[in-house]
Amino acid sequence: MAGIATDFAVLGTGSCVPDRIVSNEEVGAPAGVDGEWIVRKTAIRARRWAAPEQATSDLAVAAGRAALESAGITAGQLSLIVVATSTPDRTQPPTAAYVQEQLNAVEAAAFDVNAVCSGSVFALSAAESMLARRGGHALVIGADVYSRILDPADRKTVVLFGDGAGAMVLGPADGAGGRGPRARLRHVALHTFGELSGLIEVPAGGSRQPMDEAALDAGAQYFAMDGREVRRFVVEQLPQLTKQFLHEAGVAPDDIAHFVPHQANGVMLETVIEDLALPRVTTHLTLETYGNTGAASIPLTLDAAARRGAFRPGDLILLAGFGGGMAAGFALLQW
């Protein structure tokens, strides 16, 4: 299509976490574990939880504003807003509609993506494809408020999750204007393993099982995870999928300078990172202080690294998301 870019870059990043810091002792006590156990099993020392009046869209709007500021563009220049979340404000309308309204992004089409913890990479891919036809700029946001769907007595889940949002502005790689850092989007790959969809779920609240009294009595409103099988999936699948992705992208493992993974569990990531065999890589983590922030974790961590000046021109950055679905998403950026 004449006049529309086919090469896109992340032009700015932003993030937002709630003010409330929740310690390991606070989440561990109802679950029957102590802070030392949580650190040993997860490497997480704290997380942020939303205030009672805060919803997913509130965090998303704040992260979006920060990303727009970083990119040096206004909300009025957006043609698209994509929000990746599995904890929307409501089942209807899309959380992205609230974000569009609050940002006054009147020219932007807005919709949600739910690929759970891989959602931000899926949303980035969707935005790239749509911009190739629509033109303009996209605001891609990963945002989740998991604290609302956690069973306080379930030590497998309640100790892991925090709330937050991360955002990226995607636009023409060679476009004029803007002042933020530029990271060219080189390659994206998405995978879904639907046969494993039962490993991570919130059983009630949809058309399969309405949120009725029986569901509440059974605790079916809570996030549920088969931790052992999820770990097996990540440890077995992520290294081989990563190697496949790098081969498809035409880069060698020692070309990768930075690794920004989904911040699932620090102990599990240690095993995965070793198996990836990326000899020159610096791995960026925020889970020690923010926990697992779901779809927010990759853009939030990317923003934290960018703001502390971790990237240099030419650096290749590998983003890797994985989670419910089961799903995995990869993106290669070049700073």
Catalytic residue list contains 191: no
What is the rounded distance in angstroms from the CA atom of residue 246 to the CA atom of residue 249?
5
Torsion of CA 116, 117, 122, 123, to 10 degrees: 80
Residue 37 carries which side chain, given as an amino acid letter?
A: W
The phi, psi pair for 245, rounded to 5°, reads: -65, -45
Catalytic residue list contains 16: no
Residue 164 carries which side chain, given as an amino acid letter?
A: G
Catalytic residue list contains 284: no
Are 183 and 311 in contact, with CB atoms under 8 Å apart? yes
| Chain centroid offset of residue 288 CA | 16
**Catalytic entry in 137, 258, 262, 284:** 262
Residue 12: count of CB within 10 angstroms of its CB:
28
Would you state the structure tokens that stand for residue 259, as one six-digit string? 């690794």
Are 63 and 102 in contact, with CB atoms under 8 Å apart? no
What is the rounded distance in angstroms from the CA atom of residue 69 to the CA atom of residue 65?
6
Determine what percent of the chain falls in helix, strand and coil, rounding each to the nearest 5: 40, 25, 35
**Catalytic entry in 117, 258, 265, 284:** 117
Q: Which residues are catalytic?
A: 117, 262, 292
